[in-house]
Amino acid sequence: MAAPMMISFVAVLLLLLLGCFIHAAAGVVDAAAPAPSPSPAPSGLVFHVGGPRGWRVPDADTSYGWWATNNRFHVGDSLYFRYGSGDSVLVVDREAFDGCDATAPVAAFADGATTVRLDRPGFFCFISGAPGHCDEGQKLVVRVMVHPADASASAPAAAHAPATSQPGHGGGGGGGGGGGSGASSSSSAAGAAVAAAAMDGLLVVLMLL
């Protein structure tokens, strides 16, 4: 009577050990799994310049400078200019912006509904091409910033970029990464081997029952 009870006890013990080893092996595999990639930056916004009034000579109590300071512009956003016939949108450099010089714009639009994509960080300057309008305040400069999501996504890449070093120095950095990968693979193999051994032992005990 004692022998069957002892064998049953050993079988239960082996089952418990097998469950623990399988759980540990699964944890090693999960730890080695790659981290999820960061979410993409949201799509750009479209800003209607001047709001409902559109692109025109501002009233005495308003200005495009005030409108620009109350908005935040990021790379990928767009500016939408809506204006009447006889007016236009000129993209100019800062010197031409300050002097209301419309003689040599970087780009010129006169279709009445112009969309300009803000495709880089920095300043974008716009003036009206209609005579006298720029001098009356129809001019706009916006500062474009990198989107926070883009900046956070590029930070890990910069942190993991390989650093340059003098010949004969710093070469162990790459080997350290390989050692980490090898240790992870070894841990996974060890966990699988222990689980397999426990399973073999369980089968032997079951055959003796």
pLDDT-derived band of residue 60, with 50, 70 and 90 as boundaries?
A: confident
**CATH hierarchy code of domain 46-149:** 2.60.40.420
Is 50 exceeded by the pLDDT of residue 167?
Answer: no
Sheet of strand 113-117, all strands in order from the earlier edge strand to the far edge: 46-48, 78-82, 113-117
> Any residues with CB less than 8 A from the CB of 201 and at least 6 apart, and which?
14
CA-to-CA dists, residue 55 to 12, 66, 207, angstroms: 81, 14, 88
Mean of the per-residue pLDDT values for the chain? 73
Q: How far apart are CA 187 and CA 174, in angstroms?
A: 20
**Taking Cα atoms as reference points, which of 147, 134, 149, 92 lies closest to residue 116?**
92
Report residue 81 CA to chain centroid gap. 29
| Element at 149 (helix H, strand E) | helix 148-160
Q: The whole model's pTM is what?
A: 0.55
Q: How far apart are CA 179 and CA 191, in angstroms?
A: 18
162 or 89: which carries more pLDDT confidence? 89
pLDDT of residue 137: 97
Q: What is the DSSP letter of 1?
A: -
Q: How far apart are CA 90 and CA 208, in angstroms?
A: 91
47 or 36: which carries more pLDDT confidence? 47
pLDDT of residue 202: 52
CB 197, CB 22: distance < 8 Å: no
